[in-house]
Amino acid sequence: MADGSMPRRKAEIGAALAQSGAGLRAVSLAVGLAGVALGVIFARLGPSRAAAAISVLTIAQALLTGFGQFLGLRSSIDAALFAGLARDPDLASFDAAMSELGLLPAEKQGRAMAARVAGLKRLLHLQGLGLAAQLTLLVALLAPGGL
């Protein structure tokens, strides 16, 4: 493989990885809405001694859902950006445009494509951890005798 095609291939891989964030975002929203809805119902119908704990779980679920949606939005934006880089992997002009728009700090300019994909992988990992936390809260809310 010629050296010139390597950044393009890495950008294609980055775009494919970033697209997986959309699925995580959808699951996060579904889990979050279910957790918040059940939390509201359980807090109103459950024993009063459990209402405070249920309320805390519900608020935590809502916050984690917002966090998951934010990270999902970022991965969706990254999917489009990596797709653009796959078509035209000129990182210098990309960095200049992003910097001019105020979307790229000076210290991140000039990074290699591999470093950009590594940053995306960290974002997706964080998104997955957020979803795992949401699922844990949902299970805690549903666990009989858990509260």
Question: 7-21: per-residue pLDDT in tens?
Answer: 899 999 999 999 999
Is residue 1 predicted with pLDDT exceeding 50? no
For residue range 37-93, what is the model confidence (pLDDT) as tens digits? 999 998 888 777 788 888 999 999 999 999 999 999 999 999 999 999 999 999 999
- Helix runs in 46-143, H state only: 48-87, 91-100, 113-142
In a domain, 138, yes or no: yes
| Residue 117 located in a structural domain | yes
Burial 60-91 (b: 16+ CB within 10 A, else e): bbbebbebbbebbebbeebbebbbebbeebeb
Non-local CB neighbours of 35 within 8 Å, separated by 6+ positions:
57, 58, 61, 65, 134, 137, 138, 141
Let me know if residue 66 belongs to a domain: yes
For 99, the token pair is 């910097």
Contact yes or no for 39/57 (Cβ under 8 A)? yes
92 is a domain residue: no
Model pLDDT, residue 3: 54
Question: Does the residue 106 lie in any domain?
Answer: no
Count structural domains, the chain. Answer: 1
On whether residue 2 sits in a domain, the answer given is no
Query: Do the beta carbons of residue 67 and residue 107 sit within 8 Å?
Result: no
pLDDT band for 146, please (50, 70, 90 cuts): low
d(CA 19, CA 77): 9
Q: Is residue 95 part of a domain?
A: no
Parent domain of 127: 9-84+112-142
3 found inside a domain: no
